[in-house]
Structure 1
Amino acid sequence: MPNIQRLPATLTLATLALLSACTTTTTADSPGAGASLTQTQSDGPSRWELVRWQQADGTLRELPQGDNGQPVIFEFNSGIDAAQGTVSGNSGCNRFTGSYGKTSTGIRFDRIAGTRMACPGERMGFESALLRAMQSPFTTVASQPSATPQGRQIIWKTAEGDLLQFAEREGVGRRGAKIDAASGVEKIVYIDSQRVECTGVGRMQCYRWRESEDAAWQLWYGPIEGLDFESGVAYKLRVREYRVPNPPADASSIRWQLLKVEERRRGG
């Protein structure tokens, strides 16, 4: 297992990536007690931007931006150090959703599904390469804690030997966008025991939810931040609902954050 490097704040991003390239690459397929980033927030949602992609031959891959300037973003519902959770974001052209889990050497991504918008060829090529890389576990080769001018950063090595450097960002949706906590509204929602296939711009898995036990089911297309959903278990949840300013065109303008699991039961 590679050692996690604690890097001083004076190191540049290029130096950070260069040091990472010297780390031995290994992979793992099962969750484990991977190293922490010694972060200041130990749980809850976190948002990370891909800021550098160094290919195995040392060349840099150009990073795309969306039509409204959106960068490549990964949003982890339970934080990057959680044992498991759901992940969503912008993969260069489309929105994606799936799950993630810690491994003994880094992180893995599972059941990744995305929308199917057409974009210019270079963005589609980038997205295909990123989603292909996410099919195998990433190895953590370097990290930088929050107590530095640049903030928290992490470098993962792909199975092909590329180095992906991410930096933590605030907010959801577009880069720098923030939500007003005071604008959130608490509500009770009932979640069905099984997710179902649904279609946004592309095929994906959706929650079925309703506001009362005798109401009709509706589809929820986004994640429920903080919920460790177990198939076969129905939930009664207390959530805080936020309006997201300036969401991407193919993403929801509403965000749910779990406050409390009021009830869980097996079956429907």
Structure 2
Amino acid sequence: MRFPPTRTLWAGLALCAALQPGIAAAGTEPSGLLAFHWELREVLDAQGHIQLGWNLPPDIPGAGAARAVRLDFTPDQVIVGQLCNALSANYQLHDHTLRIGPMIGTRRACPETGVMALEQKVEQRLPEANVWRLETHGLTTPRLILEFADGGKWVLDGTPTDASFYGGPGEKIFLEVAPERVACQHPQMPLYRCLQVRALEYDAQGLKTRVGAWENWYGEIQGYAHQPGVRNVLRVMRYPKAGAPADASAYAYILDMTVESEIVR
């Protein structure tokens, strides 16, 4: 039986694809930044002492490790995730040099204790980064090091983005999900109940231009947890899956955002 690669293995493969030979060790290839989500593992001061107070409690009380600040890089922006408000800034690279502009973001009140204080710390600290490098030697996943003008460091662990994991940018589609599952003939699970979905299309102004027919959905949508009695319109990223078995879907479907949600009585 042939098993698909794990994400740990894919992390190494994605990094090899992102960093050209001879550059990986130096860590100056920007595509390496773009291919991964970067989660903050350690914050160090100039003397190498670990600084506390840079993460949040788990989403579910008592559920293991703290929640980490996450950085994502686009070609021209760095985006801070896994907090409450969305923060982002423009940035520039030149070899190992990093320049991050002022952070901008939403300003909604956050109910979690300490989250707004942490956002302010990140907003003030991140633009002070001036050096970056990637470490890969002897690691199963890549590591991003950000160095600051005062000698402090951030150490961040990388996991592949969906685009790098599946080997392409993916396709954005819209799906309406009916409020109730239905009995269906799943080839591998006799008692399986399918989602009912139909494809939607929108024009550039956001007006609905096409509504497809209802169909049984024999798989799941990663990141989507269906609630009985709730109708949803989802924006989903569709990625081709290389080497998918003949009796399985040729695509991976990953939730991008919930566009509409309605309780149906």
Which category describes the TM-score, using the shorter chain as reference length? 0.3 to 0.5
Q: TM-score, normalised by structure 2?
A: 0.45
Larger RCO (CA under 8 A, 6+ residues apart) = 1
Greater percentage in helix: 2
* Structure with greater Cα Rg: 2
Q: TM-score, normalised by structure 1?
A: 0.45
